Each structure stands twice: as C-alpha cells, then as structure tokens.
Amino acid sequence: MLHSFVSYTYATHVSATKVESVHRFSFEFVVAEQAGLGHVQLLDGRLHVFQRPTSKFWWAGFHLRGKYLRTSTKQTTKKVAEAFAKEWYFKTQGEIAAGTLVGSALKFETVARDALDRYKQRVVRGERSAATYRGIEVSLKSRILPFFGKLPIESIKVTTWFAFKEYVLKKYPHLKRGTLHQYKNALRVVLNDAYRHGIIKELPIFKDEYTGRRIEAPRPWFRPPEYKRLLSVIRKHRKHLSSVQPRWLSAVDELYDYVIWTTNTGCRVSEIANTRFCDVEVKLDKEAEREYLVIRNIKGKRGTGTCRSFFGATAAFKRRIEARKITEPQKSQEKLFLEHHRDMFKQILEKAKLRFSNTQPPAKRDFVSLRATYICFRLLNGVSVYEVANNCRTSVAMIETSYAKYLGGEILEGVNKIKGSLVGWDAKE
C-alpha cells in the first residue's frame, strides 16, 4: 500500500524539533533548486517532485494542515516519478477525505508483541487462563501476523478483516467458522490492548455475515470398539518405546492415565490442567463395591464445580500418585497431570486409524473426543441427560444438541413399545 512508507513530520504538538523539521524539509526543496538537483511543482504547486542529495530516487511531497507528507517514488526516471507522484497524491487525498489516512508508525507486529506480554502477565496473576494465552499466541503467529504484521495498527479496519478472511479461506478452503472466530478473537486482543493504551482512538467492529444457519456438528467420540482399540494402541506404543526410546515411557504412561481419567470423568482439557491431587477424594460405592472419585474445585469455563467419576478413574489416579511419588495426596498442591501430550496423542490416533470418525462428513478427533466419549457412554448406560449435564458442568440443551441427538435410537429404549395390538405393520413382518 502506498501509504505504508509515507513519512510524517508533525508541527501540531508544539515540539521545537518537529516544527524545525517541517521548515528543514521545505528548505530541502529550495536547496534542490539551488544545487541544481531535479525539482518540479505539479498541480498548480500543490505537489512537489524533487531529488535529494542522499537518495538516487525521486521524492514527492505536499503540505497538509501544518504537516508535510512525503514519500519516495522508488523511481529514477523523472517522467515515471511524476506519474507515480500524481497517483500517490490523489490516492492520499482520497484517504484524507474518507478518514482512513494512517499516521502511526507503529506496526501491528510491534503492538501484538506488547499485547501478548501484558496478557502473559495477567496469566501469571491468575486473571487469565494459560490455555487461552497459548491459543491466542498460536493464532497470532500462525495466521494473523503473516498477514497483518507489517500493517500500521491504525490501518486495520473492518475491511482489512474481510480482506484477511478472503485471503485465508482461499488458501485454506476447509477452515471452519469456529477457527475464523479464534482468529478474530486473537486480533481483538491486540486491538483492545492498543485502544486501552491510546495507540488507536476507536475499535473497529467486526460483524460477519453468514449465508446460512450454523451447522450443529456432533462431537466426535469413540464407540466402544474404537475406545478399546485406542487403549490397545497406546499400550503397544509403550512397548515399542521401551526398547527404542525408553526416556518417553513416563510420557506415554501419563497419556494413558490421561485418556482413562477423561473418559471416566468427562472433564474438559482446561479443567484437568487445573486439577490438583488435593482436589480428589477416593470413596467407596457400597452397592457396586467399587471405588470412585469425587473431584472438587474444578476450575474451567463454567466457573468452579464438582464431579463424581466413573469407577475407571480410580486406578488412573492411584497410578499417578505412585508415578509422582506423592506421599500425602490429600495435602499435595501439585497438578495431577503435568502434560497432556497432544502430539503423542495425535500420533496414536493416526496409528490406530482413529484420527477421523466414520461419520459423513468425517469429523476430526482430539482430546475433546474423550469428554464426548464419557458423555455418550453414560447416556448409553441409561443415565439421565440431566444428571450427565450436571456432572459435566454443562446444560441439558448442550447435551441434547451435541450428543444425545446423534445417538438417536441407541438410547431410545421405549421406541419399540407396543400398547395393546400392533397398529400399522403386519405382526409377521
């Protein structure tokens, strides 16, 4: 963009240095004439095209309300430079009239770096989630900064956002609405920070228009045979690592317990990251004669809650105590899981051929699929939607929309009920 390399010399803030620089630049134009350097006035003297002793290119400039706007034409031929200067002049005048002329030298990448540093400080103070910070950082570095990085922060408007959307969808046509929403949130974090620190005077409003209703996609989960295959492949992977890379054994053991824990508690990834040993209590179900866990102080997107686990979580919890050598788990403030090994889990899914579901269209599985598996297993075992929703700190509507709806007839025990004589079908059919 032409205005990206425009230099501004201000004389409006009563700064002796800045006022002097305005007069010095005007004097430069006179010096060019006296020194025999090329110079010309166009458009009845409103536009100046001239040479500078320190540059091989022709320059263009004009006065605007106490400021002198100038730019290099990047041309060494006078006629070409004059044509460029006129085009630049009219374009800049149009930006002035539209109120879109950018006067800040701060680039988006500079503001983004400072915004991330301040956000990280809020994470340290406990005001924001570390997982949210990592998501914003990934979105900025992977997609936002390559497009917005060199743009002046003041130039980012709603039209810039739509230009980015068009660019990224052309390059990655299968991006989902949720991913674009993450990019928008990352961009807003930077712009909000710039607004709070007075770098920009107003915040652009990004309002997207969608051609159709949002498609409610089911959460991909592991059906019982798939779940057994998943655990089997993790165990085989551990056996392989024991002879090839034994240093990774502790990681694969933690991943195995992480999978068991999540599919027996239904906790979110962010909730598991905040769970401590002291938050977990082992209890006995007298009727089933099996131990289960009560997990308190679960901190996540829905505030703080409590969860009652299914029986399988107890063994995983005890293995974590033994692996970490925790002597008094009731008093330990240490986190239950140190890592969730995302890359290894992805590798396991691909090895087990479970990375995508068998649905149409196929859905990509990740750690969220483990929570979905707990919910679906509970529903398939006859637990009420209300109890599952309450135990998972979510709403009945969310369970019905994202899980129960797609289990369909599998959980409808009364769908084949016959009252009296059969109506409709032939009894022999």
> Which pLDDT does position 25 carry in this prediction?
44
Candidate from 2-6, 51-55, 61-65, 152-156 with smallest mean pLDDT: 2-6
**How is residue 289 annotated by DSSP?**
T
**Residue 202 forms part of a structural domain:** no
Q: How many structural domains is the chain composed of?
A: 3
Distance CA 287, CA 61 (A): 87
Q: DSSP for 191-238, please give it.
A: HHHHHHTTSSSSPPP-----SSPPP-PPPP---HHHHHHHHHHHHHHH
- Do 390 and 286 lie in a common domain? yes
- Do 283 and 160 lie in a common domain? no
pLDDT band at 33 (very low <50, low <70, confident <90, very high): low
Measured over the CA atoms of residue 415, residue 417, residue 423 and residue 429, the dihedral's sign is positive
Beta-bridged to residue 293, according to DSSP, are 282
Q: Do 252 and 344 form a contact (C-beta atoms < 8 A)? A: yes
Which of 71, 98, 125 is the last residue in one of the domains? 98
- Do 90 and 139 lie in a common domain? no
> Which pLDDT does position 136 carry in this prediction?
93
User: Which two three-digit tokens encode residue 424?
Assistant: 């409709």
Nearest residue to 128 (alpha-carbon basis) of 378, 275, 256, 299: 299
> Which pLDDT does position 322 carry in this prediction?
95
Q: Tell me the HSE value of 296 on the side-chain side, using a 13 A CA sphere.
A: 6
Q: DSSP for 47-97, please give it.
A: EEEEE-TT-SSEEEEEEETTEEEEEE---SSHHHHHHHHHHHHHHHHHHHH
> Which pLDDT does position 248 carry in this prediction?
92
pLDDT digits (tens, 9 = 90+) for 368-406: 999 999 999 999 888 999 999 999 999 998 888 887 766
**Residue 204 forms part of a structural domain:** no
**Residue 203 forms part of a structural domain:** no
- Do 140 and 242 lie in a common domain? no
Q: Do 413 and 382 form a contact (C-beta atoms < 8 A)? A: yes
Residue 360 has pLDDT above 50, yes or no: yes
- Do 13 and 158 lie in a common domain? no
Token pair 């135990």 is found at 391
- Do 249 and 364 lie in a common domain? yes
The domain containing residue 90 runs over which residues?
2-98
Contacts of 71 (CB under 8 A, 6+ apart): 2, 5, 6, 7, 59, 60, 61, 88
- Do 177 and 143 lie in a common domain? yes
User: ω into residue 361 within 30 of 0, thus cis?
Assistant: yes
**Residue 228 forms part of a structural domain:** yes
**Residue 428 forms part of a structural domain:** no
Indicate the residue type of 182.
Q
Residue 197 has pLDDT above 80, yes or no: yes
- Do 93 and 132 lie in a common domain? no
Which of 160, 180, 196 is the last residue in one of the domains? 196
Residue 4 has pLDDT above 60, yes or no: no
User: Residue 186: which CATH number?
Assistant: 1.10.150
Nearest residue to 156 (alpha-carbon basis) of 120, 107, 223: 107
Candidate from 136-140, 185-189, 235-239, 420-424 with smallest mean pLDDT: 420-424
Q: How many angstroms separate the most distant Cα atoms in the chain?
A: 111
- Do 34 and 147 lie in a common domain? no
Which of 55, 78, 98 is the last residue in one of the domains? 98
- Do 83 and 128 lie in a common domain? no
User: Residue 233: which CATH number?
Assistant: 1.10.443.10
- Do 135 and 163 lie in a common domain? yes
**Residue 173 forms part of a structural domain:** yes
Q: Give the chain's mean pLDDT.
A: 83
Average pLDDT over residues 357-366: 86
> Which pLDDT does position 14 carry in this prediction?
27
**Bigger pLDDT: 53 vs 118:** 118
Strand order in the sheet with 39-42: 7-9, 67-72, 58-64, 47-51, 39-42
- Do 40 and 161 lie in a common domain? no
Distance CA 221, CA 223 (A): 6
